[in-house]
Amino acid sequence: MDASVKKIPLTIGSHSYNIVIGSEILSTIDFSSVMLSPDKTGYVVSERVWGLYRDYISQVFSVKDAGDFIVMNDGEENKNYRYAEQFFEWLLGKGFTRKSMLVAIGGGVVGDFAGYCAALFMRGIPVVHVPTTLLAMVDSSIGGKVAVNISAGKNIVGVFYQPAMVLSDVRFLATLPDGELKNGITETVKHALIGESSLLAMMLNHDLKSIKERDTLEEIIYLSAGFKAGVVCEDEKESGRRAILNFGHTIGHAIESVMEYRGISHGEAVAIGLKGAMEISREMGFITREDVSVFDECARRYELLNSEHRFDPADVIDHMKYDKKNYGGRINFVLLKSLGVPQFDCEVPEDVLKHVLSGL
């Protein structure tokens, strides 16, 4: 493997796989170790990615039958239970079996959807993730959480299902719009705030322009993905420490649900959630205004907060009640005891929550 290629090994229970990071790596990776001699390979590809990189994808995977591709409109609203049923029927109609496998090429929606379908089809077939957005490279492709949405909320129906490999080829980021780039930056900022100090230093030394340099992107992906991988390896099924990765997401997911996943990106919603979690942590006496200003500086450098979004705090609180992390009749938050020191399962007084949400 080329020396410039970065590799993060994961061992989760009895399952081991690699996250591979680099530029133009799809054409240099030996897939034989993970392909398991499938009788058929199906490719679930983002519609936008297919339009931009069809020749590259077809060449890399030596595709002989274009009919084994399903091109997916990767809007969050399409990651649903009904579409999954149609996909299962497509797989059966194409002759896929328990010895087949899937390759997911796209952002988080495609990865979640293909991973969910791979986990359930014939009680489980292998899946390889090829994330094509920064958000997917640093977050959704890592750790095996796959799901679909229902009307009550996001990712309500899902399973833990580890991939055979994750291949993060930064070539795909060359055409990534700034809005999508910021979605991923929000997650890297989250990882930086909850424990990856080297990443925090990098984020505070760059801006939206300089972060796009290939070497910088590769290092940020390596640090951010490596941090999440370390947490996931300790706690695959979120029975303990993995819950820290939900920092900012309790509020963020609720805002997405209130807005029906329209008019706001995942990154924008989580950025608001991160601001909220920081302010709650301050209101609870855990961190200082100076600590909050660290997030504010990141948000300024990367233009993460959009003041045009409006929502009713009461509606957001109602939607928080559907969060999968809740139990015992209360809303559970991840807060910061100090920068880099997260605490999960925190109960927040309702008056504090309402005050912070009104301020947002």
In a domain, 281, yes or no: yes
Look at residue 322 in the predicted model and tell me its pLDDT. Answer: 66
Give the catalytic positions in this structure: 123, 145, 187, 228, 238, 242, 246, 249, 253, 266
Candidate ranges 63-67, 151-155, 325-329; pick with highest mean pLDDT: 151-155
Look at residue 13 in the predicted model and tell me its pLDDT. Answer: 82
Same domain, 252 and 171: no
Same domain, 152 and 218: no
**Long-range CB contact pairs, 284-290, < 8 A, 24+:** 284/335, 284/346, 284/348, 284/352, 286/335, 286/336, 286/337, 286/338, 286/343, 287/336, 287/337, 287/338, 287/339
Does the pLDDT at position 327 exceed 60? Answer: no
Tell me: the pLDDT tens digits for 44-84?
999 999 999 999 998 888 765 566 888 999 887 888 888 89
Same domain, 52 and 164: yes
Look at residue 256 in the predicted model and tell me its pLDDT. Answer: 87
Same domain, 122 and 144: yes
**What does the block give as tokens for 338?**
């100090």
Does the pLDDT at position 326 exceed 50? Answer: yes
**Is there a contact between 79 and 90 (Cβ–Cβ < 8 Å)?**
no
Tell me: the pLDDT tens digits for 217-276?
999 999 999 999 999 999 888 888 999 999 999 999 899 888 887 888 889 999 999 999
**What does the block give as tokens for 347?**
């109960």
Candidate from 272-276, 319-323, 345-349 with smallest mean pLDDT: 319-323
Tell me: the pLDDT tens digits for 7-48?
999 998 888 999 999 999 987 776 666 556 788 889 999 999
Eight-class DSSP state of 302:
H
Same domain, 316 and 249: yes
Does the pLDDT at position 134 exceed 70? Answer: yes
Name the domain boundary from 175, 204, 236. 175
Helix (H) or strand (E) holding 265: none
In a domain, 326, yes or no: yes
Does the pLDDT at position 1 exceed 50? Answer: no
The CATH number given to whatever domain includes residue 316 is 1.20.1090.10
Does the pLDDT at position 140 exceed 70? Answer: yes
Tell me: the pLDDT tens digits for 163-221?
999 999 999 999 999 999 999 999 999 999 999 999 999 999 999 999 999 999 999 99
24 class by beta-carbon count within 10 Å (0-12 exposed, 13-18 middle, 19+ buried): middle
Same domain, 278 and 234: yes
Question: For residues 129 and 114, what is the distance between their CA atoms, to the nearest angstrom?
Answer: 9
Same domain, 190 and 297: yes
Question: For residues 271 and 285, what is the distance between their CA atoms, to the nearest angstrom?
Answer: 21
**Mean of pLDDT values over 108-120:** 95
Same domain, 119 and 137: yes
In a domain, 1, yes or no: no
The CATH number given to whatever domain includes residue 94 is 3.40.50.1970
In a domain, 35, yes or no: yes
- Asked whether the whole model's pTM tops 0.85, one would answer yes
Same domain, 34 and 108: yes
**What does the block give as tokens for 332?**
């559970």
Does the pLDDT at position 320 exceed 90? Answer: no
Q: CA-CA distances (angstroms) from residue 151 to 128, 159, 258?
A: 28, 18, 11
Look at residue 98 in the predicted model and tell me its pLDDT. Answer: 93
Domain that holds residue 290: 179-359
Same domain, 94 and 42: yes
Name the domain boundary from 175, 205, 224. 175
Same domain, 191 and 313: yes
Look at residue 225 in the predicted model and tell me its pLDDT. Answer: 97
Helix (H, G, I), strand (E, B) or coil at 185: helix
Q: Which residues contact 177 (CB under 8 A, 6 or more apart)?
A: none
In a domain, 104, yes or no: yes
Same domain, 151 and 185: no
Name the domain boundary from 148, 175, 202. 175
Confidence class for position 321, pLDDT limits 50, 70, 90: confident
- Count other C-beta atoms under 10 Å from residue 44's C-beta: 24
What's the structural domain count of the chain? Answer: 2
